[in-house]
């Protein structure tokens, strides 16, 4: 009888947590339990405390039968169950660790955990839709920029396919208060950039962080006056400034900004190449993700 009551209580408690998650900002943390993924989780958890967001930690269980080098080899159900049990245990350990870190008086995020078989990308998009996630946070490898999320170049795939804002956290990114966020724009799609800045303000406002709208240009600056006037009229956020950086290549200009601009985060809108171009070229966002030393916030382009 006691076990039944405990199970009912556990089920109700999880239901309560899920209900809470639906009514507030929500951050999603895909993890493979590596050191880099743990660092991204701690970075994002600290951010979640500041902006009063609840969190969901998830793990995609990729069975060997789904990996090409295993061919058609079958995978026993017992092994699948063990993978699920191991994943659940690791997720609970992460949750326990976060819940027992130093508590704050103002807000401590609620945490729920999810795991499922399949690809990381499928899991992220499914949970993103189910829980109406506001931000996905993942860790990256230092010099290579590849996500630590299991096998393959998941950072690049996520940048291309994710439908939610994505925060890429390098392993050396310090966990410090965010005071200045640079938003890079070329003024080629102003309506889309404005929508992304409005989203960015919801993150910056509780941090009291400055937003530095930055244009990297080579030949001729254009579009800034109308853009900044539009922001001033509609954004209702006083801490927005404008800066131009002249550089032959956008990535070189952004590298200079990250090194000398005293910024804590870089934000960009990812513009997809067509299929053929994507086979041979990376976007400026992907190039920055490959080596940036501060967190990179990527907004997906509207379809």
Full set of structural domains in the chain with CATH: 2-169 (3.40.50.620), 180-300 (3.40.50.620)
Binned at pLDDT 50, 70 and 90, residue 69 comes out as very low
The span from the CA of 159 to the CA of 285, in Å, is 8
Residue 55: alpha-carbon gap to chain centroid: 12
Q: Is 102 exposed, middle or buried (0-12, 13-18, 19+ CB in 10 A)?
A: exposed
Q: Pick the more confident residue, 271 or 153.
A: 271
The span from the CA of 212 to the CA of 24, in Å, is 27
Least confident of 9-13, 75-79, 148-152, 180-184: 148-152
Binned at pLDDT 50, 70 and 90, residue 161 comes out as confident
Residue 158 scores a pLDDT above 50: yes
Q: What is the pLDDT of residue 232?
A: 87
β-strand partners of 132 = none
Q: What is the pLDDT of residue 272?
A: 63
Residue with tokens 């994710």: 162
Q: What is the pLDDT of residue 7?
A: 53
Q: CA 48 → CA 84, 110, 123, distances in Å?
A: 27, 10, 21
Residue with tokens 């200079």: 256
Q: Residue 102: in which H helix or E strand, if any?
A: none
Comparing CA positions, the residue from 209, 202, 294, 194 lying closest to residue 254 is 294
Helical pair 35-51 and 190-207, crossing angle rounded to 10 deg: 80
Q: What is the pLDDT of residue 153?
A: 53
The span from the CA of 185 to the CA of 267, in Å, is 9
Comparing CA positions, the residue from 221, 168, 199, 203 lying closest to residue 39 is 168
Q: What is the pLDDT of residue 277?
A: 39
pTM of the model: 0.81
């Amino acid at each position: 009888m006691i076990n039944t009551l405990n199970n009912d209580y556990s089920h109700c408690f999880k239901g309560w947590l899920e209900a809470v998650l639906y009514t507030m900002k929500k951050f999603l943390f895909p993890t493979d339990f590596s050191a880099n993924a743990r660092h991204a989780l701690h970075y994002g958890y600290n951010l979640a405390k500041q902006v009063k967001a609840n969190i969901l930690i998830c793990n995609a269980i990729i069975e060997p039968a789904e990996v090409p080098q295993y061919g058609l080899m079958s995978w026993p159900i017992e092994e699948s169950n063990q993978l699920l049990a191991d994943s659940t245990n690791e997720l609970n350990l992460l949750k326990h660790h976060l819940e027992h870190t130093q508590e704050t008086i103002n807000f401590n995020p609620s945490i729920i955990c999810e795991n499922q078989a399949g690809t990381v990308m499928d899991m992220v998009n499914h949970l993103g839709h189910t829980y109406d996630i506001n931000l996905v946070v993942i860790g990256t490898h230092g010099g290579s920029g590849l996500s630590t999320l299991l096998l393959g170049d998941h950072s690049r795939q996520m940048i291309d396919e994710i439908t939610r804002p994505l925060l890429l956290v390098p392993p050396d990114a310090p966990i410090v208060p965010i005071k200045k966020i640079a938003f890079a724009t070329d003024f080629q799609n102003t309506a889309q950039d404005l929508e992304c800045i409005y989203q960015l303000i919801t993150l910056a406002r509780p941090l009291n962080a400055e937003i530095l709208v930055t244009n990297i240009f080579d030949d001729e600056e254009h579009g800034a006056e109308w853009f900044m006037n539009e922001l001033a009229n509609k954004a209702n956020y006083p801490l927005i400034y404008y800066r131009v950086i002249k550089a032959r290549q956008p990535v070189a200009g952004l590298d200079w900004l990250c090194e000398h601009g005293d910024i804590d985060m870089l934000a960009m809108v990812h513009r997809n190449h067509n299929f053929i171009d994507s086979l041979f070229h990376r976007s400026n966002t992907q190039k920055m993700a490959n080596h940036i030393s501060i967190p990179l916030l990527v907004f997906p382009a509207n379809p």
